[in-house]
């Protein structure tokens, strides 16, 4: 599908710049051009599609639905999927959290949403398709959704309501299965399109530097580090690799755009996919800035338990990934 | 009496963009309106919005969860 991009990259590097095919620099540059063009095409497509879904997606109705119906466990899946389609702007996570609590939606279901939302989003999906192909992307998305569900179910079982901050507990006590009336925006597709379009450009512009830096680092590593270099340090046989890389990743923060191109090269150079993905999930899904935000609604103890459970689930999924691939 | 515009948001970049857009529309068109930034989460929740930024005009939520364009704001203020 992207042969033509490779041809352009070859032409630019070997013909226009007349670089030696064997040199590391030529290889790194070729890889950089090819990856950048391909990834931006895919990012554009995925972000645009998600933008359309998002524009029509009735956040309020889903919340009302979740709080109204008894769904026998199905609500965890719904909340998790809900996290996939909602764009993750950290500033929205607290209002959404409170909105869920107010609607009498169980805490665990809300957590399912909170976990999946940063892990699986349009930027991550676009990058994943570009770097790892469709099959791995689907596996990643499915495991991201499952991760949210399972963490949510475990957290629900732990009965954590007492560890919310007092004002949230008050809201919880007054939670009604209210069906709030929301004013929904009635716009035609033609009216929506320019808004969606602007949003797509804004997201792309925002992540551009991170992706470029990520790909540049990736490109350098690709050209200079020999194949299989990491295998000797982080092979599948090394059982500590997954937990160590996950725990190292949790305090770090980067969005998917910066970290994924690097992860791809790490995998190409011999780090098992599961270990790499566990690392990435740790970086993207949990972070200190997020913990600071959550402090408004949760006690330190609750944040600790939340991070602990999710970290554990990420480690387990890392092992599973390594078993599959 | 002028229009009362409130921008709801906990202070992320999108919320700041929204405030900037609203402010410039009001200034450029000499609209008699006062703009208020609502950053306290408790106050934001009173408007039942779950996605920020949101724009409230005369206590009615008009836009939520995205940064509006200048034209949109102008259109809403003309009503």
Domain chopping of chain A, boundaries: 57-184+225-324
Residues A245, A282: contact at Cβ < 8 Å? yes
Residues A289, B34: contact at Cβ < 8 Å? no
Residue A64 is predicted with a pLDDT of: 78
Contact A90 B11 (CB under 8 A): no
**Tokens found for residue A200:** 């797509």
Chain B contact set for A100 (CB, 8 A) = 50
Contact A91 B48 (CB under 8 A): no
Contact A99 B48 (CB under 8 A): yes
Strand partners for A290: none
Residue A88 is predicted with a pLDDT of: 57
Instruction: Render the burial of A107-128: b for 16+ CB within 10 Å, e for the rest.
Output: bbbbbbbbbbbbbbbbbbbbbb
Contact A195 B50 (CB under 8 A): no
Residue B59 near chain A (CB below 8 Å): no
Q: Does the structure's ipTM exceed the value 0.90? A: no
Of the residues A53, A63, A79, A91, the best mutation for testing chain B's interface (the one with the most B CB atoms within 10 Å of its CB) is A91
User: Domains in chain B, ordered, with CATH?
Assistant: 3-78 (3.40.30.10)
Tell me the C-alpha to C-alpha distance, in Å, between residue B18 and each of A1, A23, B77: 39, 49, 15
Rounded distance, CA A131 to CA A129, Å?
A: 6
Chain A contact set for B10 (CB, 8 A) = 91, 94-95
Contact B11 A94 (CB under 8 A): no
Residue A181 is predicted with a pLDDT of: 56
Residue A233 is predicted with a pLDDT of: 67
Residue A265 is predicted with a pLDDT of: 82
Rounded distance, CA A175 to CA A152, Å?
A: 20
Residue A180 is predicted with a pLDDT of: 57
Residue A141 is predicted with a pLDDT of: 92
Residue of A59, A183, A198 lying closest to B50 (CB–CB): A59
Average pLDDT by stretches of 10, chain A with 325 residues: 81 80 79 85 89 79 76 85 75 79 87 89 86 88 93 92 87 68 66 82 85 83 73 72 86 75 82 88 84 86 93 92 83
A117: Cα within 13 Å, side-chain hemisphere: 22
Residue of A95, A167, A198 lying closest to B49 (CB–CB): A95
Residue B33 is predicted with a pLDDT of: 87
When computed from its CA atoms, the radius of gyration of chain A, rounded to whole angstroms, is: 21
List of chain B residues with pLDDT < 50: none
DSSP state of A164: B
When computed from its CA atoms, the radius of gyration of chain B, rounded to whole angstroms, is: 11
Active site members of B: 12, 15
Instruction: For residue A92, give how far its alpha carbon lies from the nearest alpha carbon of chain B (Å).
Output: 5
Residue A176 is predicted with a pLDDT of: 64
For residue B51, what is the nearest residue in chain A, using CA coordinates? A92
Contact B65 A99 (CB under 8 A): no
**Could you tell me how many CB contacts below 8 A there are between chain A and chain B?**
60
Residues A76, A108: contact at Cβ < 8 Å? yes
Rounded distance, CA B65 to CA B53, Å?
A: 5
Residue A266 is predicted with a pLDDT of: 82
Tell me the C-alpha to C-alpha distance, in Å, between residue A269 and each of A36, A109, A265: 19, 38, 6
Residue B15 near chain A (CB below 8 Å): yes
For residue A97, what is the nearest residue in chain B, using CA coordinates? B50
CA A192, A92, A147, A235 torsion-angle sign:
positive
Of the residues A56, A89, A100, the best mutation for testing chain B's interface (the one with the most B CB atoms within 10 Å of its CB) is A89
Rounded distance, CA B51 to CA A99, Å?
A: 9
Chain A contact set for B60 (CB, 8 A) = 183
Contact B10 A95 (CB under 8 A): yes
Residue A179 is predicted with a pLDDT of: 53
Interface of B with A in 27-56 (CB under 8 A): 41-42, 44-45, 48-53
Of the residues B62, B66, B73, the best mutation for testing chain A's interface (the one with the most A CB atoms within 10 Å of its CB) is B66
Instruction: For residue A310, give how far its alpha carbon lies from the nearest alpha carbon of chain B (Å).
Output: 24
Residue B67 near chain A (CB below 8 Å): yes
């Amino acid at each position: 599908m992207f042969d033509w991009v490779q041809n352009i990259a070859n032409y630019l590097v070997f013909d226009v710049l007349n670089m030696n095919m064997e040199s590391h620099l030529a290889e790194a540059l070729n890889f950089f051009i090819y990856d950048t063009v391909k990834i931006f095409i895919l990012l554009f497509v995925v972000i645009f599609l998600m933008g359309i879904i998002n524009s029509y997606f009735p956040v309020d109705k889903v919340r009302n639905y979740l709080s109204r119906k008894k769904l026998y466990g199905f609500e965890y899946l719904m909340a998790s999927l809900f996290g996939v389609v909602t764009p993750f702007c950290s500033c929205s996570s607290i209002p959404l959290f409170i909105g869920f609590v107010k609607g009498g939606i169980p805490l665990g279901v809300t957590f399912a949403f909170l976990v999946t939302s940063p892990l699986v989003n349009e930027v991550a999906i676009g990058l994943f398709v570009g770097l790892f192909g469709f099959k791995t992307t689907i596996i990643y998305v499915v495991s991201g959704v499952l991760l949210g569900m399972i963490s949510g179910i475990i957290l629900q079982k732990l009965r954590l309501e007492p560890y919310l901050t007092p004002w949230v507990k008050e809201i919880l006590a007054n939670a009604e299965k209210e069906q709030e009336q929301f004013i929904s925006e009635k716009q035609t597709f033609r009216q929506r399109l320019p808004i969606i379009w602007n949003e797509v450009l804004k997201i792309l512009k925002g992540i551009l530097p991170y992706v470029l830096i990520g790909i540049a680092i990736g490109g350098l590593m690709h050209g200079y580090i020999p194949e299989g270099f990491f295998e000797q340090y982080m092979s599948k046989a090394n059982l500590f690799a997954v937990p160590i890389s996950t725990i190292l990743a949790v305090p770090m923060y980067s969005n998917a755009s910066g970290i994924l191109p690097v992860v791809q090269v790490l995998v190409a150079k011999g780090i098992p996919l599961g270990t790499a993905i566990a690392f990435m999930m740790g970086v993207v899904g949990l972070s200190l800035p997020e913990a600071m935000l959550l402090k408004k609604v949760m006690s330190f103890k609750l944040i600790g338990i939340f991070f602990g459970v999710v970290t554990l689930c990420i480690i387990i999924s890392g092992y599973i990934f390594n078993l599959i691939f | 009496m002028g229009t009362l515009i409130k921008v709801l948001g906990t202070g992320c970049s999108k919320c700041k963009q929204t405030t900037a857009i609203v402010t410039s529309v009001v200034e450029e068109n000499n609209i008699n309106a006062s703009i208020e930034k609502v950053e306290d989460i408790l106050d934001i929740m009173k408007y039942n919005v779950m996605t920020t930024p949101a724009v409230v005009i005369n206590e009615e939520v008009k836009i939520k969860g995205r940064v509006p364009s200048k034209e949109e704001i102008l259109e809403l203020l003309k009503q």
